[in-house]
Structure 1
Amino acid sequence: MSRRAGQRIARGVWDLAGLDAIRVAVCQLSLDAAWHHIFFNSQLSKVQVGEVVFLVWRIWKGRCWSVHDHVQYLPPALHRQFRVQVEEWQDASSSQPREQTARRLPSVSHPSVSNPPGGLLLRFDGAFNRATGGSVGFVGYAEGSSLVCAYGKFYPGLNDPFLAELLALRDAMLWCVNHGYYNVCFCGDSQLVTRRATENEVHHESGGAILEEIRLLKSSFFFIKFVFAPRRTNRAAHLVAKTALASAARHSVDCRYLLFNPL
């Protein structure tokens, strides 16, 4: 299926579901979040849910296998077509050599990210739109990868990605202090923010005031660590930030419903 055809189908899904969050989830390839919105947050009938599932699956060719749990609600004609396409897709995938399908990326080593003993692993990210503003998002995991929090917030007029990342880290630190988490590993996908947060120097650059707040907040923690991680491992926080950007909510929004399947 061509990219343009997939976009047309996606627009049909958005019109049918009527939820901005589904649009954001599909655009970010976070299909688990899209399924969650469709099944638990929309007012669609079971037949409509089945049609939405079928259309979204047509876009990304079954990358999220939870689709099979809801195929029973498809109309008979769509159900047969779905089964045929699943079989064709599986046959085509299994016939391709593994060497051709694997992504050939340079080998880059990153420090392992884990929870401090009895503490929290908190992933943060920022997003921005030059026309409207920026947003922040952060997601907290306890030991065992259990979801603790997921919050997003919109900042109108913010159009600097560096400032968005800094605000995401600051808001995450404030949340931890206010909720009694003092052993925290903060993980973000901005090397500059990670480096600036680790240093104790005050920089007279864009975001200097926010960096000063971060430096002062660091003294509130018993254990604190800042770790850089690639974007692909930070998708949950990125999804929360994008959702806050789409909703333009100027107050903190609880986004745990987006992440019912943690990590």
Structure 2
Amino acid sequence: MEHLLCWEATETMEHLFLFCPVARALWDLSGLEFLGQGLPRHTFPLFLRRVMGLIHRPELFMALAAILWRIWRSRNWVVFEGKQFGIEALMRQFHQQYEEWVNLPIDRVGTPHRQTICPGAPSADLSVVCCWDGATRRGASSAGGMVLMNGTREVLLARGIQFPGLVDPMVIELLTLREAINWCLGLGIH
């Protein structure tokens, strides 16, 4: 299938998110480092690993997620609704999405626990698993959560969060990740 944003190539994940002229223009205008630099054209999983390596920097991680989300949404508008747009409109939508995600008040998603778990335990022996549920059911309260486990996968601590009124899965996922990071920092895990 031809890529419908630029009509230049077969649509692949790499082309859609990294190498399409529309995507590259968005990356260039965003001022963010282009994480696809030096990657072969069929390595989207490597790109995602680079993005996930930035999860400890929530604002940068959200900016990258907002770019990817805007590209995906724009592609779907063209494919399913026949809408056309310019790069300036796409850039405005990216900025609006990013500001919305970054500026969500912390009290909408709960207060991180302030307790120490396993004092002195190396962070490498601990892992945190995040999940969300219910974000696609209109009118339903969405929930997110995280579980802290030790090296033997024993659950040490769990935390749930409610997201009343939010239904956008990407927003719920990002908020859950942000809260998991804050939760780990509050627990002294780095």
Give the alignment's TM-score, normalised by structure 1: 0.24
Higher relative contact order (CA 8 A, sep 6+): 1
Question: Normalized per residue, which structure has more helix?
Answer: 1
Give the alignment's TM-score, normalised by structure 2: 0.33
